[in-house]
A and B are shown apart, each in its own frame.
Chain A
């Protein structure tokens, strides 16, 4: 008899995009020097797997190249020297420090590093205190807040008809979908649309206090939107405007009809995308809509939950929920099917790059 209820054990699902990747994804297009404070492997994982722009776009993503003696002796001075040296060779508007398990274990003081760097290099410094043990949305939130703290210009004049979109990194939205989102917003009268995590340069963060409103499309965007609401009274809404269209695309790939009243659907994704898909199904089916539960392995904010929604932490919780609730349809990234070897309902693929690394 073996126990599979072991904290942290994943027998079927590979690790999801970690906080380090989320932070790096936010920093990637901003025109700064991104320093991943690691030995090399984290930077390789982030860029080699979680950053689809990396093959086509150029960004100053560097590994600190830590070695055993750096970690044992805490040689932060060498890291500062390396950063200063890199800045003598490349152009950068700011620095983003992205922490990983090694600095977390040795207790690197990121705030002290930020102060020292600001003094030595004269550039704004953002920090993301990721440690590799959390999910990508937490790291992305940290980087968003870090960049706002470092770059935001509070006295910028209000931009008329402007909107900031938060949560738009490639881990949550594809480039074509993001382009379409911008297009839709422009058609609806927005002159300035800032996609935080996709748009190039530091300008979206400098102008973050000047926008009229914010939209959050993924949990990673909640923290910066709330920060801007609290400090600059900028209202925000939570939605995922492309869900209805994504539902159409999904249904075009199957001959199965959507379940109806009396049946049950599980949507497993990041919370905003799952909620938006639920809304799209309800709009499509009206009063004949089935019971729909949303679930996520990522951040879940109670404000946006309905009764019966689930938050999974351990891998085994997902198949157990499915066994207990017997949904007729699951809408989720197809990689989740690996954890359901004995479930034979209808499964519709709702890709999530942060889960499978596939579109």
Chain B
């Protein structure tokens, strides 16, 4: 390990997990390099308001929260590159990371790449992306002033998006495939008390209608099979996320859904020296505060690995 260019630790991802790992490893003097990916801050930056992150009694935007994480990591010496790992090769006591832009050698790797938003996966969806279909309420909500909007999904993101979009829209219809919601009760209460929000459950989107832009959607009732067409100018999709683990499938074990598997009670993966944290290995909780805690665990597991490795 005499290569001076070799990194001690590379952290792939810059959401709550990756940046917490960066804070801890930087503070331990490991001089981490964070590969931020093409969307620095991860999924949280599309959240208009975060109300449940401890230490913030007033709501804070996801963008600002992640900016604070980043500044804190930077203060301790973490370095950042806007690159994405495309491929990893295992070398002799090192990992070679191919980012498409260059190659990076590192002794250890923390995978905190998070998850990416699922799409509806219906044939007309791509045609209308940017012309009525969106995955980001904070980015595109203002284009739908005084228009009718549909939000698809039943988790926190969908319900928060629906409430946020009532700032612009004349009406927001939440379409959800189940007859129960995964969103937190506090979020549900806000939505239920909002007079601009209507509910369609258990319905699914069968087709998006429009010529140049979205004018409506065909919905199907999952219980009765009934079909109905509703008018809307915008469709915001918030139906969950898939783990971003594709580049690491040859490197570490994953489950059938692509979540990276770690040893119980730790962040150690099937490959020594590689640690995973946050939503890329969390099919259950998917919360910023959990991801942050997980990032801390990864940093501590990694420090222990390096300590043991040095002693050998």
Same complex for A and B? Answer no
A: residues with CB less than 8 A from B are: none
